[in-house]
Amino acid sequence: MTPGGLRGLRIAALALAPVLAAQAERPVDTLRQAILDAATAGAVDPLATALSPLQAGSTTELDIALADATDAPLADCLAHIVRPPGVPLADWQALARWPGTCDRGDGEGRGAHLQLLDLDGDGRLDLVRETYVGGTGLFSQIELIRQRPDGFAWPPADVGDADARDTMTFSINGRGGDQAFDLIAIDGRIWIVYRDSAYAQDMLTLTRPFNAEPAQDGLRVRYAMRHRVAPQPGSQPSAPSLLAAVDQGLSALATRTGPAPACPERSDDAPRPWHGAGHYTFEFAATFALHHDGDCSEVTVINLLNSDHPAGGQSCCMAWVYDRQATQIAEIALTTERRLLAVDIVPASDIATP
């Protein structure tokens, strides 16, 4: 190769180096590696283990009682609270002047959890407010409110009118969804991690607070699921032979790569699927045929959609058994082991906004 050609390669390499370095240092890569490392170390819940040391510490946290009076100012709710240690006087006074209200509004909760921390690195403490809304979905709402040079941002009357550079709102579906909100710190910068999970996978969105730009690439954490029949409580547990047959079917389900076999059709069968239409509080995860006592039944594994569940997903699921007339003949508690399969990077363009 000529000297000119070598010089051109060196220039190209120098130009490319910062790009490659920036890609290698992306927060999505840092979090992905932390999840993989936690799984290698044998963590029951690799995601929770990876997030724990990255949690962004608040300058202070406090709980306030919400007022019954409509449009009660936040200053009224803070009047009996002494300025917490570590909170500068200017930030505390700015919070007391914030025009947002602290009444219950239409929500079912009677209190709010407040955090004060510098979310955007400008030296001023910003506000994170979490309130319980309720409803059939047991919703909670998390608001991030930036402190500008002139004080905390005015809360918009309509969340749809919010400017992402001043306020951000996230919702957690307590029943009917499996979601979580975390603030983590990577290389001195705070990131929002929003988790939205389904059976055998966690979908993570990473976003910078008060950043009007689209979210960063996300992560899809995929698991292999191994279900087993749990010890059955109650005075009338299912027959031992049925439990043993279901447990054997669950073992086969864990290693199956193709569709599970169905019961042979008979003219007197109820319409399929025998488990019916379902409900918003769970999702159908798998269905397989169960040959027991000389006939064929249908076992459906359901994944409970609940944001307040123990770490690791051990109690995520149940098995429901139906006969040919679509009558449920057993409801069986399961224990579940999740084994990490992969942590995939998902382009930002493929991620739905939470």
Give domain status of residue 189, yes or no: yes
5 is a domain residue: no
Closest listed residue to residue 212, CA positions, set 146, 156, 169, 163: 163
Q: Is residue 63 part of a domain?
A: yes
Q: Is 3 within the bounds of a domain?
A: no
Give per-residue pLDDT as tens, 176-216: 999 999 999 999 999 999 999 999 999 999 999 998 666 67
Tokens representing 286 are 């798998």
At residue 4, does pLDDT exceed 90?
no
What is the rounded distance in angstroms from the CA atom of residue 126 to the CA atom of residue 328?
52
Pair 199, 303: CB distance under 8 Å:
yes
The pLDDT, as a whole number, for residue 68 is: 81
**Residue 312 pLDDT more than 80?**
no
* pLDDT for res 251: 96
- Identify the residue with better confidence: 260 or 10: 260
Q: For the segment 270-291, what is each residue's pLDDT rounded down to a tens digit?
A: 999 999 888 999 999 999 999 9
- State residue 20's pLDDT score: 47
Q: How far apart are CA 215 and CA 211, in angstroms?
A: 9
b/e burial code for range 97-123 (CB count within 10 A of at least 16 → b): ebebbbbbeebebeebbbbbbbbbeee
In a domain, 33, yes or no: yes
Residue 198 shares a structural domain with residue 275: no
351 pLDDT more than 90? no
Does 190 lie in the same domain as 311?
Answer: no
209, 242: one domain: no
Query: Residue 38 pLDDT more than 70?
Result: yes
The verdict on residue 321 lying in a domain is yes
Q: 164 and 43: one domain?
A: yes
Judge whether residue 156 has pLDDT over 70: no
Q: Report the pLDDT value the prediction gives residue 1, as an integer from 0 to 100.
A: 53
Average pLDDT over the chain reads 87
pLDDT at 2 over 80: no
E-strand stretches of 210-269? 218-229
Judge if 20 and 166 occupy the same domain.
Answer: yes
| pLDDT recorded at residue 322 | 96
Q: Is the pLDDT of residue 83 over 80?
A: yes
* pLDDT tens digits for range 64-78: 988 887 788 888 888
Taking residues 99-112, what's their average pLDDT? 82
Tally of structural domains, the chain: 2
pTM: 0.86
Place 13 in a pLDDT band, splitting at 50, 70 and 90: very low
134 and 171 assigned to the same domain = yes
Whole-number pLDDT of residue 308? 80
Domain span at residue 246 reads 225-340
Q: Looking at residue 57, what is its pLDDT?
A: 86
Helices (H) and strands (E) in the chain, counts: 6, 15
In a domain, 2, yes or no: no
